[in-house]
Amino acid sequence: MEQAGLRDAAALVGRARRVVVFTGAGMSAESGVPTFRDALTGLWRRFDPQALATPEAFEDDPALVWGWYESRRRAVLSARPNAGHAAVAAIEARVPGSVVVTQNVDDLHERAGSAAPVHLHGSLFAPRCSACARPAPLPDDPTDGGPVDSRPLHGGPADGSPADSRPLPGGPADGQPVDGGSVDGPAGDGRVPPPECARCGAPVRPGVVWFGEALPEAALEAAVDAASSCDLLLTVGTSGVVYPAAEIPRVAARFGAPVIQVNPQETPLDEVCDVNLRGPAARVLPALVEAAWGVPRVS
Ligand code: OAD
């Protein structure tokens, strides 16, 4: 990571009053949660999203899809927030007008102390009925409907808003290689029949957004509002290829906010970034917090 870039980024962070931190799978990579598109380790390099992350897949084989998301949820339960998540929470604490907008379906921002991250792609912890949308309890905890927004996913913001609720491109048809190999869960635990809805008996589904589905209306609206009124956007660990989420940094840039990117690799978002910090989130973000405020590194 270049020192001049870090200094420039720290100056922007230090004087900001409303920061949007926009995160993707790279944010949780150092917690051991795999990304989607990284070579070798990315989920969509090893699993076929058509068979696991579409409404049709759930209709065809609900036990396969439910089992795969359950194994991902269990992997997240055994993961811990990393120093990058802690640094994001430190930015929120220092800059109270800040908002975390995440594409991640894990709960690592919450566990690191972020107050109310906006989950654009839903949550592994908010299952709901596939027919009547009633929130369902998590399998381990029959009394708990999940800590994160469990509203049904439907609709989108009014036409003409900067980001709309088109079906997500960037999935199976986004040109990313997909091997279509084994569909056993990452933990090897395979098919698990989904529970039945207590009200209507239909299968319960994971509370995530699948390819071909609209984003949660309230979350998308909150993200667009935050991006269009912030004075700095920090994009961390996202490839920036899945829309409409990838519009969020572009919205901030269009409204005149500087954009800082934290990512070891180049991405299509480079073109809207004022500062690129090429490195892993768990190293770069604590260094940025320290450079901005001179506080000891969070770890
Ligand atoms: P991707 O897997 O597409 O991209 C992860 C990004 O993180 C890449 O640009 C990596 O270079 C970067 N990265 C890897 N390790 C990192 C680290 N330690 N620190 C910082 N960056 C790192 O993941 P997303 O962009 O989140 O959607 O993917 C977007 C959406 O595509 C996901 O929300 C998911 C997926 O299909 C749905 O499931 C709807």
Residue 42 Cβ contacting ligand 1 at under 6 Å: yes
**CA 238 to ligand 1: nearest atom:** 25
C-alpha 203 to ligand 1 mean position (Å): 29
How many whole angstroms separate alpha carbon 126 and alpha carbon 256? 35
Of 68, 247, 263, 283, which is best to mutate to test ligand 1, by the most ligand atoms within 8 angstroms of its C-beta?
Answer: 263
Residue nearest to ligand 1 atom 19, measured at CA: 280
Instruction: Return the number of other C-beta atoms located less than 10 Å from residue 41's C-beta.
Output: 12
Of 120, 239, 248, 285, which is best to mutate to test ligand 1, by the most ligand atoms within 8 angstroms of its C-beta?
Answer: 239
Q: In 3-state terms, what secondary structure has residue 249? A: helix
Instruction: For 205-263, write each residue's pLDDT tens digit.
Output: 999 999 999 999 999 999 999 999 999 999 999 999 999 999 999 999 999 999 999 99
On the 0-12 / 13-18 / 19+ scale of CB atoms within 10 A, 27 is buried
**CA 265 to ligand 1: nearest atom:** 11
Which amino acid would we find at residue 20?
V
C-alpha 239 to ligand 1 mean position (Å): 5
Residue 6 Cβ contacting ligand 1 at under 6 Å: no
Q: What percent of the chain has pLDDT over 90?
A: 78
Nearest CA-CA partner of 191 in 294, 70, 13, 24:
70
Residue 33 Cβ contacting ligand 1 at under 6 Å: no
**CA 35 to ligand 1: nearest atom:** 2
pLDDT recorded at residue 176: 32
Instruction: For 110-138, write each residue's pLDDT tens digit.
Output: 999 999 999 999 999 999 999 999 999 99
Could you give the count of Cα atoms lying within 13 Å of 201 in the half-sphere of its Cβ?
0
Instruction: For 35-78, write each residue's pLDDT tens digit.
Output: 999 988 999 999 999 999 999 999 999 999 999 999 999 999 99
Could you give the count of Cα atoms lying within 13 Å of 255 in the half-sphere of its Cβ?
18
Residue 206 Cβ contacting ligand 1 at under 6 Å: no
Pairing of strands 204-205, 128-129: antiparallel
pLDDT recorded at residue 212: 95
**CA 267 to ligand 1: nearest atom:** 9
Kindly list the catalytic residues: 121
pLDDT mean over 92-104: 97
pLDDT recorded at residue 296: 59
Would you give the end-to-end CA distance of the chain in angstroms? Answer: 19
Residue 70 Cβ contacting ligand 1 at under 6 Å: no
pLDDT recorded at residue 190: 86
Least confident of 12-16, 83-87, 184-188, 235-239: 184-188
Topology of domain 3-145+179-293, per CATH? Answer: Rossmann fold (3.40.50)
pLDDT recorded at residue 187: 40
- What's the chain's length in residues? 299
Residue nearest to ligand 1 atom 18, measured at CA: 280
Residue 267 Cβ contacting ligand 1 at under 6 Å: yes
Look up the pTM and report it: 0.86
Residue 41 Cβ contacting ligand 1 at under 6 Å: no
Residue nearest to ligand 1 atom 33, measured at CA: 103
pLDDT recorded at residue 151: 31
How many whole angstroms separate alpha carbon 288 and alpha carbon 297? 9
For residue 229, what are the β-bridge partners? none
The answer, yes or no, to whether residue 146 has pLDDT greater than 70, is no
Residue 35 Cβ contacting ligand 1 at under 6 Å: yes
For 84-134, list the strands marked E by DSSP.
99-102, 118-119, 128-129
